[in-house]
Structure 1
Amino acid sequence: MKRIRKLFALMAAAVLLLGIFPAMATANARATLRPVIFVHGGSGSGSQFQTQAKRFASNGYPATHVETHDYDSLFVNNTMEQVHAGLDQRIARLKAATGADKVELLGHSLGTLVSQQYLKSSAERAANVAHYVNIDGGSTAGAESPPVPTLAIWGEGSTDRKIEGATNLYHSGESHVQTTSSVATFKAAYTFFTGEEPATTGVTPESGEIQIAGRAVYFPFNTGLRDARVDIYPFDPATGRRTSAQPVATYQFGGSGDGSFGPFKGRGDVHYEFVMSKNGTNQVHHHYYQPFRRTDLQVRLLSGDPGGPLDWLVERNRNHVAMLVYRNKEWWGDQGADNDTLALNGTNVLNATITPRTKRACGIFMYDWRSDRRTNLNTTVGLFPVLPFISGADHYMPASATGTVTLETRQRAADGQTDRLRIPNWPSDTHMNSIYIDDYA
């Protein structure tokens, strides 16, 4: 009987400990998770890791443990040495803030060249990195593995590509940008970093208050917005209209700075409109988002100055709407049953001309080309045929003071799920619209 009573006492103590200390156990487990840094590729930004950051957070990583390293991939405003120096500073800051011994590093496309050169530049730098994930790099990535444990992930293309000494995985059904945001890449990277598979590969919604932050930057240079203001409003996706007369947050940007904003307090189930107005002009750029679902510190508002390179791509007129629909995953229009759908006012703009798989188009600019009040989706327009990762469509959407444009999207392999939202049909002579679509269903 004494043995039985002792056994019951031990079991009761174990239950009590599990009941009292699960939070402490979780906290101790999370304390061992190293910070994660993502380095984007050409014409990219931190937004390409937006979904993956939230997947890491859904598996216990503090949102502040995951950062992206923006730089000018055209190397007009920075040199490679400056990009590396900035990475030094980021790693030192994250190690100090988290108490971690090292960081985890990922690079995509051109970012693999940046990362590999960084890791091979000195033993001191490599010593600060626990693991490195090389995502769909080109031949410039180098044939030999960096001096840290390396996982190389390859998308569509030749399976002869490899990094000697690394673990090489081939996700042959995934397109180039898709490899940065896919479930398969997240699962592989998480397992590589932690030694175990993630509990979930989804973006787990958070109830109540969340934190939203990021940067407003000039595309494609990733330099900070200047002499402008950003007002943030909740809006109703069924009507496109703001649900608050006053912004939930406002940020002023002066003549210098990196364009950082936030965090501000928001909700994960709300659609937000970021209204960017340039000081001294009547130009407004509206940025519309689907619900963030959980804390998101990687928001990137991609824009340009009036009369700058982005304006050269878009024909403006007070009678029609101009917009960019952007997703961190290529739009496919020539893959039959594997196509995506992007319909504006009932017309699907994705086809073999506008978005062939080989175009790798993540952003699609749409406006009334030549202002003839006609839609012609049988040809791409302007400079878009020669520009990487973006395409253009001649789609006439009338502008008015009170009307709307309806967008319907269906992602490939999403079991027919359709997302729908409306935005006001602002006249393009003074308004530009960017609509950011999630890269997952």
Structure 2
Amino acid sequence: MAVPAAYGAGRERRRAEHRSRQVGAHRDDRDGGGAVRANRPVRPPSHVLPERWCPANGRRYVRAVFPGAAGVRRPRRRLGPRTRTEGPPVTRLALLAAALVAVSTPLVATAPEAHAAPTVPVIFVHGQEGSAQQFQSTAQRLSGNGYPDRLLHAYEYDTGTLLNERAVLGLAVFVDRVRAATGSPTVDIIAHSRGTIVAHSYLSDRRHAAEVRRYVNVDGRSSLLPPGGVPTLALWSGLQPDGAIGGATNVHLPDLGHTETTTSAESFAHVYRFLTGTAPQTTQVVPQPSGVTVSGRATYFGANSGVPGRLAVWEVEESSGTRVGSAPVHTTTTYDGAFGPLAVDPRKRYELEYQRTGEPTSHFYFESFERTNQFVRLQISAPGGPADDVDRCPTHTAITVVRNREWWSDQGAGSDGLALNGVEVLTANVAPRSRQVLAAFLFDDGCDRRSALGAPAADFASLPFLTGVDVYLPPTGSVAVREGIRGTTQSRTVTVPAWRSDQHSVTVEFKDYADIR
């Protein structure tokens, strides 16, 4: 659809700039360490890069790339007789034998001794365009199983850069800070997607590896050996059926999405047993009856740098999203985006309003905060970011809906659903499983007061993790945002005021897990 110049000028330029940041550094993993080889744009899972020759077994490989993850070497059928010789045959056979032993025989114990109470801090490392937000439910499950919140930490870095060296250096500093703050000589690391590249590089230094007790590699990089020799658990989604780390405990979860492999209850059960040596008492996020607090940061999406501003926390009516009372429950001015801990009632709903000088007001709406959450993220699109492709005018409301479990709209009766005031917007083409969509931008494309459902908005049709829908929402009254949760019979609704899109941005975040029933 053509966009009037008043609303669409520069969109192609912004789109190109945004795509240029969708990158992950890809590393040679033949020795479990490796140096940065090259940086390639992130592409859909079906994209295949040129074949490479492995001298260890004379087979050709392809490097498959999915959004946010390292290039993962996957074997394919032999394409013909070997035509190259590198080194004497005995050397190649020895390498092959060593690789097979590494893959088939664990070199380290897969679970530690059981202990009464956790004492080792856990550090989460996110993937491409990720943040601590992807670990909210995992942290809440850990705390529900006895982990003190003071032991749970998230390392964040700028995913818009092409190289990982700065992220690796930052992780080293962060680990030292956590060790000093907790008094623990070692930490456990859980890394996801591109974060596994950062973690592998960090652990390739023996001094760093000595400071890590356990490592969890979630749907990211493969290698022949556990990075740094650290006991490793590797979880793999359906995107990586051949993913493996030799000598590690490898668990394949083919029915889970790329990010869902981090946030699911099924994954948590494996992670908890690996870290503690015992099964969790529960894999659910158990509601906390009292003493609930929220902490977090306002950040630029992808860059994870803090955004200064003024935060106001409002109690809102669940049925309409309108504010209760004339004054917010909490207010704070922050110069680095950080806030909290702020006390909230787990039985109520809240709006987090964030104001910046000279910028539209940002409104964030959530389901009830049923358990303390220290990884709340108020993500704001920086200039040149994806929100630049959202047309804003006084005649409509624009809403971004986020969930850290992929939206799958092409699974027939088993699909996710997302409706605005009863109108379904997730048709099969909008969020197919292959695109691993985590956020949907819903707005009046072209400001023409008409909806065009059935296909993603053009500017969002090929972006990783994101989709967009041309849907007209008049800026009056309220909008009921309803999700249907695949794999369950549950649905949930967050109702928000219909703010004008030229002066306000609206984000709705759904939990990434189903309710306990």
TM range (shorter): 0.7 to 0.9
AA matched with 2:354? M
Matches within 5 A, 1:306-325: 308-325=384-401
Distance (whole Å) between structure 2 residues aligned to residue 245 and residue 86 of structure 1: 43
Report the TM-score when normalising by structure 1. Answer: 0.87
Task: Tell me, in whole angstroms, the C-alpha distance in 2 between the residues paired with 1:148 and 1:433.
Answer: 43
Are residues 1:49 and 2:135 paired?
A: yes
> In the alignment, which residue of structure 1 is the partner of 2:497?
424
Distance 1:216 1:382 in 2: 28
Q: Which moved more, 1:331-340 or 1:237-246?
A: 237-246
Give the TM-score, by structure 2 length: 0.75
Runs of at least 5 residues in structure 2 that lack an aligned partner in the other structure: 1-114
Supply the distance in 2 between the matched residues of 1:143 and 1:125 (Cα, whole angstroms).
Answer: 19
- In the TM superposition, 1:159-308 aligns within 5 A as 159-226=241-308, 228-254=309-335, 257=336, 259-281=337-359, 283-305=360-382, 308=384
Return the match for 1:350 from 421, 426, 430: 426
Alignment of 1:134-153 (within 5 A): 134-138=217-221, 141-146=222-227, 147-153=229-235
1:6 is aligned to none
C-alpha distance in structure 1 between counterparts of 2:277 and 2:362, whole Å: 44
1:286 maps to amino acid:
H
User: Given the alignment, which residue of 464, 471, 480 partners 1:406?
Assistant: 480
Q: CA 1:390 to 1:292, structure 2 compared with 1: closer, same or farther past 3 Å? A: same
**Structure with the higher fraction of residues in helix conformation:** 1
Conserved in 1, the CA contact under 8 Å of 2:316 and 2:351? yes
Contact 1:73 1:221 survives alignment (8 Å): yes
User: Structure 1 residue 334: deviation in Å?
Assistant: 0.4
2:160 and 2:392 mapped to 1: Cα distance? Answer: 27
Q: Distance in 1 between matches of 2:357 and 2:198?
A: 35
C-alpha contact (below 8 Å) 1:313/1:382 kept by paired residues: no
Instruction: Work out the CA distance in 2 between the residues paired with 1:382 and 1:426.
Output: 24
Offset at residue 158 of structure 1 (A) = 4.6
Residue 234 of structure 1: how far off its partner (Å): 1.4
Distance 2:173 2:346 in 1: 31
For 2:299 and 2:452, the matched residues in 1 are separated by 32
- Distance in 2, matches of 1:131 and 1:322, equals 43
Q: Contact 1:40/1:48 (CA < 8 Å) preserved in 2?
A: yes
RMSD, matched Cα: 1.6
The one-letter code matched in structure 2 to 1:215 is R
Counterpart Cα distance in 2 of 1:292 and 1:362? 20
Deviation at 1:262, TM superposition (A): 0.9
What fraction of aligned residue pairs are identical, expressed as a percent? 38
Superposed displacement of residue 292, structure 1: 1.7
Distance 2:277 2:371 in 1: 25
Cα deviation digits, residues 196-234 of structure 1 (max 9, x gap) = 0000001111112212101110012111103x2121111
**In the aligned structure 2, how far is the partner of 1:337 from the partner of 1:440?**
19
Given residue 29 of structure 1, which amino acid in structure 2 is its aligned partner? A
Note the alpha carbon deviations across 1:125-184, whole angstroms, 9 max, x for none.
Answer: 00111110100014xx43332110001100003532211111110000001111110111
| Structure 2 counterpart of 1:279, one-letter code | T
Q: Does 1:105 align with 2:189?
A: yes
Q: For the Cα contact (< 8 Å) 2:273–2:280, is it kept in 1?
A: yes
- Offset of residue 266 of structure 1: 1.5
CA distance in 2, matches of 1:343, 1:211: 30
**Cα displacement string for residues 32-77 of structure 1 (whole angstroms, at most 9, x for unaligned residues):** 431111111001110000000000000010112111111111227x
Instruction: Provide the C-alpha distance between the structure 1 equivalents of 2:368 and 2:279, rounded to a whole number of angstroms.
Output: 27
**How far is the alpha carbon of 1:339 from its aligned partner?**
0.5
Distance 1:43 1:158 in 2: 19
Q: 1:434 matched to which residue of 2?
A: 507
The number of equivalent residue pairs is: 399
List alignment gaps of at least 5 residues for structure 1. Answer: 1-27
What is the SS of the residue equivalent to 1:440?
Answer: coil
Instruction: Give, in angstroms, the shift of residue 85 of structure 1.
Output: 2.9
Letter in 2 for 1:268: P
